[in-house]
A and B are shown apart, each in its own frame.
Chain A
Amino acid sequence: MKLVAVTSCPTGIAHTYMAAESLEQAAKAAGHTITVETQGAGGADPVPADVIAAADAVIFAADVEVRGRERFIGKALVTAPVKRAINAGPELIEEAVHAAEAGSPEAAATPAAAPHSATARPAGAHRDVLAGLTTKVDKDAHFGTRLRQWLMTGVSYMIPFVAAGGILIAISFIWGGPQVASKVFGGTFHGHTYHPVITGIESFDVSAVLHAAGYAGLLFLIGKVAFFMLVPVLSGFIAYAMADRMGLVPGFVAGLIATATGAGFLGGLIGGLLAGTAVLAVKRVRVPRAFAGIMPVVVIPLLSTAFVGVIMAVVVARPVAAATTAMTNWLHGLSGANAAVLGLLLGAMMAFDLGGPVNKVAYTFGLAGLASGNTKVMAAVMVAGMTPPIALALACVVRKRLFTPAERTAGEAAWLLGLSFITEGAIPFAAADPLRVIPSMMAGSAAAGALSMAFGVTSLAPHGGIWVIGLIGRPLLYLVAIAAGVVVSAVCVIVLKSLRRTEPAEPTGTRADATNATSEPVAVGA
């Protein structure tokens, strides 16, 4: 049996390693293989993602929070205090083997590692795939893959900020009316001119805000503060994905410089990558022993931050700020046919890989729009992402015989997934019959995206599908765009599948995929 374990303790110099050794000895004695990640003071050497994927069970022998525990989601899990691993290693190994065989409450194998476990609990398997997309950085992968993983790590840490900030701002608008923004920051709304209460979120007088705009104004301001963090968090965690904790300081600083200079998202992306690179470069320098102790705390953050800060401010900021402004103006100026073309393109991207990297690029574009105040792009991306699962669910109902029993089960769940903007609900269908399903889905999503842009539908929420309809501008047209996309996709997929002569057989892999869709994937992205 293949096991992985994480050991950690408060000081990180003794128990962490004793537990690791004890587990390794016990596993060896019992004829299992084990890979242990020691999260100690010497820094952790992470277990490679493929080893985790192949593992049957996971042991957390930890007295402090396990870092990166999302990497292990969906695995049969045994947790214990670190001392138990030292005192009773064999017992713990036995429990892990037991958990793997029984399928613990959280447990499931990945579909690739154990096709036979499809009947057990594939719920976690699906989550595993999702978690992998957003946080895993595979050190052996190609540069292109790693670059995407770095960026996705940054994006996945940023999304909750978008959600919290966006929804707070939306609530403040619903509560205090759309003039809340003008009441706080000053400006003219419907002929009424307001004096600015504050000039920026760096310093504000709470009582003045409350006096001018009430608690709705305060919520608006809090939402703005969360938004202010977007680019620094993005940039900081890109650098974190590249260079671990030491990347955070130059990453955050670079992101703040990007925000302050108007270089925005694009500047943050570049800043994060620069920061990660700088830390990795400084780490390579061999230093005299005397300095070794202060390297991670003083020297590396100091040098990398100074370097990245200067590069950002002097080289990157101005051209990127200009490009960002141009793009923002372009997006704001888009209307009619041009806007529809953008919606068409983003919609097709959303359905191209149904939750994969192309989908994430389109989704990130929507987030970037939202953060820079363009809520139309977000709405177009959302309708395009909701369409595929709903269309397939509809097709299953209309033309039952075109789908395998497993697909029909997946179809029942796909209603809810689609309505919740979880595009991955379409994956079981696409996996079984990609050549017919994916083009059909792209057609419908492109139509939905184009219509949404043409209608000028807006969304203040970055996620949530039908459940955030209260935050949608022009909600009826929003529903129209979704319905139109659903009809296009459903008709396309029915026609394409009907053209096929052979009876649908049940391919072996489908059942696992289909049941995946009935699970409850985490909503990290579209």
Chain B
Amino acid sequence: MTNSIITPELVDLDLDAADRRSATRELALRLVKQGRVTELDGFLADVRKREEQMPTGIEGGIGIPHARSAFVTQPTLAFARSEAGVDFGAPDGPAHLIFLIAAPDGGDSEHMTILAALARRLVHASFREALAAAPDAKAVVDVVTKEVLGQ
């Protein structure tokens, strides 16, 4: 179970954050608590660096802050829903679904394949809708596992 890219502890169905920095921080704290990120500030700096290159918000209310970072121990997805929305720089408004993707630096291709499959699912409306409608954290994990890993 601990090997999967997402666990219920990494899901926040009611995120309360004013901006993308605090939203990312909230989710990153969960990564730290699960031992998937070794150093909060170092990891956040890496995410911020990526975010500054080009905002990661995409149309349809999605934000995908992400980074490859030396402080990440295994490829991980943390997910949050935000009723109010958090601005991730998308042209059509704030993000209601936020995916924090953490990849270890120099990760091997098997792990990268999982993250690639995840990224590919993100553009499917059905995937987003299933996540938006998931009743609890366990359901979110099930949706991701089923869609991304085909299990």
Contacts and interface: CB of A to CB of B under 8 A. Distances in A.
Interface of A: 10-18, 20-22, 25, 38, 40-43, 63, 81, 83, 86-87, 89, 292-297
Contacts of A15: 56, 64, 119
A10 B53 contact: yes
A290 to B, nearest CB: 10
Contacts of A16: 116, 119
A293 B106 contact: yes
A183 B116 CA distance: 60
B14 interface: no
B106 A40 contact: no
A21 B123 contact: yes
A38 B108 contact: no
Given A43-B109, A83-B58, 14 more contacts: A13-B103, A16-B116, A21-B119, A21-B120, A21-B121, A22-B123, A41-B107, A41-B112, A42-B112, A42-B116, A86-B123, A89-B123, A293-B108, A296-B106
B101 interface: yes
Interface in B87-123: 91, 101, 103-110, 112-113, 115-117, 119-123
Nearest to A89: B123
A398 B67 CA distance: 68
B119 A17 contact: yes
Contact of A14 (B91, B106, B109, B119): B119
Nearest to B57: A83
Contacts of B123: 18, 21-22, 25, 86, 89
Nearest to A24: B120
Given A42-B116, A63-B54, A295-B108, A14 B101 contact: yes
A38 B50 contact: no
| B101, B105, B110, B122 pick with most chain A CB within 10 angstroms | B122
Given A42-B112, A293-B107, A10 B120 contact: no
| B53, B105, B119 pick with most chain A CB within 10 angstroms | B119
B146 interface: no
Contact of B101 (A13, A42, A294): A13
Given A13-B68, A41-B103, A42-B116, A21 B124 contact: yes
Contact of B54 (A10, A42, A293): A10
Contacts, number: 89
Interface string B137-149: 0000000000000
B119 A13 contact: yes
A10 B117 CA distance: 18
A43 B116 CA distance: 11
A18 B128 CA distance: 13
Contacts of B121: 21
B66 interface: yes
Contacts of B108: 292-293, 295-296
B120 to A, nearest CB: 4
Contacts of B83: none
13 contacts: A14-B66, A14-B101, A14-B119, A14-B122, A17-B116, A17-B117, A18-B64, A42-B112, A63-B53, A81-B54, A86-B58, A292-B110, A293-B105
Contact of B56 (A14, A22, A295): A14
B59 interface: yes
Contacts of B103: 11, 13, 41
A15 B116 CA distance: 9
B116 to A, nearest CB: 4
A17 B109 CA distance: 14
Nearest to A291: B108
Contact of A13 (B53, B91, B116, B124): B116
A472 B115 CA distance: 58
A406 B119 CA distance: 52
Contacts of A87: 58-59, 91
Contacts of B67: 11
Contact of B50 (A11, A20, A295): A11
A20 B118 CA distance: 12
Given A10-B53, A13-B101, A83-B58, A38 B106 contact: no
A20 B106 contact: no
Nearest to B54: A63
List 5 tightest A-B contacts by C-beta distance, closest first. Answer: A42-B112, A292-B108, A17-B119, A21-B120, A17-B116
Contacts of A63: 53-54
Nearest to B102: A13
A13 B120 contact: no
A63 B55 CA distance: 12
B53 A18 contact: no
Contacts of B110: 292
Contact of A17 (B58, B91, B120): B120
B87 to A, nearest CB: 16
Contacts of B119: 13-18, 21
Nearest to A293: B106
A42 B50 contact: no
Nearest to A86: B58
Given A20-B120, A22-B123, A25-B123, A13 B106 contact: no
Interface string B30-70: 00000000000000000000100110101100001011100
| B50, B106, B113 pick with most chain A CB within 10 angstroms | B106
A13 B66 contact: yes
Contact of B66 (A11, A25, A38, A43): A11
A87 B58 CA distance: 7
Nearest to B122: A18
A208 B110 CA distance: 55
Contacts of B54: 10, 63, 81, 83
Contacts of B59: 86-87
Nearest to B119: A17
B43 to A, nearest CB: 13
A83 B55 CA distance: 10
